Amino acid sequence: QLPDPPFFDKVPVRFAIFDASQSYHVPLICTPWTYSTYRGSIGGTAKKWE
């Protein structure tokens, strides 16, 4: 059972966008007790949403 109130109630993810015409993939991995994010791969195959 998860705690109430939650251990983390918000997860801040801050990053810079240098080229708004590019696609960005910022993975956010969450578990009940921790979270992690990383830059992801450069030059990935993600397509820009239009």
Residue 33 located in a structural domain: yes
C-alpha closest to that of 25 among 13, 35, 33: 13
**pLDDT exceeds 80 at position 3:** no
Say how far apart CA 7 and CA 38 lie, in whole Å: 21
Residue appearing with tokens 């080229």:
19
Residue 2 located in a structural domain: yes
Q: What single-letter amino acid sits at 39?
A: R
Say how far apart CA 24 and CA 37 lie, in whole Å: 13
Predicted TM-score of the model (pTM): 0.49
Domain containing 33 equals 1-12+24-40
Please tell me the predicted confidence (pLDDT) of residue 43: 55
Residue 49 located in a structural domain: no
| Domain total in the chain | 1
In this predicted model, what pLDDT tens digit does every residue of 16-46 receive, in sequence order? 888 989 888 888 888 877 888 887 665 555 5
